[in-house]
């Protein structure tokens, strides 16, 4: 028989939003359970230096997330390594089915499932994934010592990935479809000053090219977005850094979404379209998508859940 666990507050996700919600819900004596998912610690575990977490001039992303987990546990949250495969929000208590077989039920649910890297969606990208195509320089950069790599994108992630890769690669080409970057000015400044970085403006990537045996990347075919001219850029690794999409798969048919899949909340709250279900962090934020704003929303979600449960008891 499936294991069943009931909790007043179930938190799905272990990024800054989930752990902050767990800290606040624990301090409200709600004994929350937090389910970590496949990426314990969330997106910050795949980066290196974080320079905008208040109180730390510089902190390693994975270290920060280990501290957040310890903090949540110290306040009394139960942190479980499990993955939620489906949820039923049609009636309370809400139900969450997990991969381990445990069925969690809860009186209030906090969704903090964050976001995941977007891919270009071209067939050759899929073919070479794990064989020269990556969306995580921190994870795979080490394999490109003394080699040439290409990064595509123009946001903070792309620029940070490109800069990080200069620690290993002999040359990093950043391909962007416009001629201005979205990335923070401080990052742009570092990028423009780095002698290992080449910039290729007004280009998209239409194909990854490589060898069959062994499977491996030898270059990317870049297209000038205005003239259509094709340039073959030789490289051993291709890093896709074109943004992130919200991980709303679990609830896409049950909650109101907007802006391409972000969970809709009532402005100024974390209330979703179902009373008792709250959303926080990158899952609901199509504008800021920062660690500190996610943590802030985690706090709000826990306070909203506490208020909701108190009203139910009355």
Q: Which residues bind ligand NAP (CB under 6 A)?
A: 52, 120, 152-158, 160, 177-178, 182, 204, 242-244, 289-290
Minimum Å distance from CB 76 to ligand NAP? 30
Q: Is 68 helix (H, G, I), strand (E, B) or coil?
A: helix
Partner whose binding site includes residue 154, from ligand FAD, ligand NAP, none (CB under 5 to 8 Å by kind): ligand NAP
**Distance in angstroms (rounded) separating the CA atoms of residues 144 and 137:** 10
Distances 156 to 103, 187, 300 between C-alpha atoms, Å: 38, 7, 26
Report residue 157 as tokens.
């992630």
Count Cβ neighbours within 10 Å for each residue of 226-253 and write b for 16 or more, e otherwise.
eeeeeeebebbbbbbbbbbbbbbebbee
Catalytic residue among 3, 88, 99, 139: 139
Closest CA to 49 of 62, 60, 63: 60
Residue that the structure tokens 């826990």 belong to: 302
Partner whose binding site includes residue 32, from ligand NAP, ligand FAD, none (CB under 5 to 8 Å by kind): none
Please state the length of the chain. 314
Q: Which of residues 234-253 bind ligand FAD (CB under 6 A)?
A: 247, 250
Minimum Å distance from CB 100 to ligand NAP? 30
Q: Which stretch binds ligand FAD (CB under 6 A): 119-127, 202-210, 254-262, 278-286?
A: 278-286
Of 236, 282, 304, 306, which one interacts with ligand FAD (CB under 6 A)? 282
Examine residue 159 and tell whether it contacts ligand FAD (CB under 6 A).
no
Partner whose binding site includes residue 235, from ligand NAP, ligand FAD, none (CB under 5 to 8 Å by kind): none
Report yes or no: 298 and 280 within 8 Å, Cβ to Cβ.
Answer: yes
Distances 190 to 33, 52, 164, 274 between C-alpha atoms, Å: 42, 16, 11, 45
Q: Which stretch binds ligand FAD (CB under 6 A): 30-38, 67-75, 267-275, 303-311?
A: 30-38
The residue ranges that bind ligand FAD (CB under 6 A) are: 12-18, 35-40, 42-44, 46-47, 50, 52, 83-84, 112-115, 157, 160, 247, 250, 281-283, 289-292, 294
For the annotated catalytic residues, the residue numbers are 136, 139-140
């Amino acid at each position: 028989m499936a294991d069943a666990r009931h909790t007043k507050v179930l938190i799905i996700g272990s990024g800054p939003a989930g752990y902050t919600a767990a800290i606040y819900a624990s301090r409200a004596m709600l004994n929350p359970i937090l389910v970590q998912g496949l990426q314990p610690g969330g997106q910050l575990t795949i980066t290196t230096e974080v320079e905008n977490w208040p109180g730390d001039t510089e902190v390693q992303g994975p270290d920060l997330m280990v501290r957040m987990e310890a903090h949540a546990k110290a306040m009394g949250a139960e942190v479980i390594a499990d993955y939620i495969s489906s949820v039923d929000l049609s009636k309370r208590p809400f139900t969450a089915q997990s991969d381990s077989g445990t069925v969690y039920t809860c009186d209030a649910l906090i969704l903090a499932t964050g976001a995941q890297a977007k891919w270009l969606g071209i067939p050759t990208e899929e073919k070479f994934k794990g064989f020269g195509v990556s969306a995580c320089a921190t994870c795979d950069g080490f394999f490109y010592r003394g080699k040439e790599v290409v990064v595509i994108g123009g946001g903070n992630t792309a620029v940070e990935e490109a800069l990080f890769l200069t620690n290993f690669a002999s040359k990093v080409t950043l391909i962007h479809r416009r001629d201005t970057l979205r990335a923070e000015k401080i990052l742009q400044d570092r990028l423009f000053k780095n002698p290992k970085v080449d910039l290729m403006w007004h280009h998209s990537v239409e194909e990854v090219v490589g060898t069959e045996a062994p499977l491996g990347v030898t270059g990317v075919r870049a297209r000038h977005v205005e003239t259509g001219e094709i340039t073959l850029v030789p490289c051993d690794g291709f890093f896709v850094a074109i943004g992130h999409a919200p991980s709303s798969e679990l609830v896409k048919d049950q909650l109101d979404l907007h802006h391409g899949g972000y969970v809709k909340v009532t402005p100024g709250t974390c209330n979703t379209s179902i009373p008792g279900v709250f959303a926080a962090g990158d899952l609901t934020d199509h504008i800021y998508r920062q660690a500190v704003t996610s943590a802030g929303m985690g706090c709000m979600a826990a306070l909203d859940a506490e208020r909701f449960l108190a009203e139910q008891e009355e």
